[in-house]
Amino acid sequence: MLLSGAPVATFDKLQRAQNNLTRVVCQSRGRTDARPLLHSLHWLPVRQRVTYKLAVLTHKVRITATPTYLSELVQTHAPPWALRSSDALMLIVPHIHIELDPFSVAAPSIGTLYLPTIRLCVNILTFKCHLKTHLFKLT
DSSP 9: H
Q: Give 20's pLDDT tier (boundaries 50, 70, 90).
A: very high
Residue 132: CB atoms within 10 A of its CB come to 17
Furthest-apart CA pair in the chain: how many Å? 59
Query: pLDDT confidence of 64, banded at 50, 70, 90?
Result: confident
**Dihedral of the CA atoms 12, 13, 17, 19 (nearest 10)?**
20
Q: Quote the CA–CA distance of 92 and 109 in Å, as a whole number.
A: 9
Q: Name the pLDDT band for 75 (thresholds 50, 70, 90).
A: low
Contact 59, 124 (CB under 8 A): yes
pLDDT tens digits for range 95-129: 555 455 566 656 666 665 667 778 778 888 998 99
| Integer CA distances (angstroms), 58 to 5, 49, 66, 96, 114, in order | 16, 14, 10, 19, 13
For the chain, the domains span: 44-138
Report pLDDT for 102: 64
DSSP character at residue 113 = T
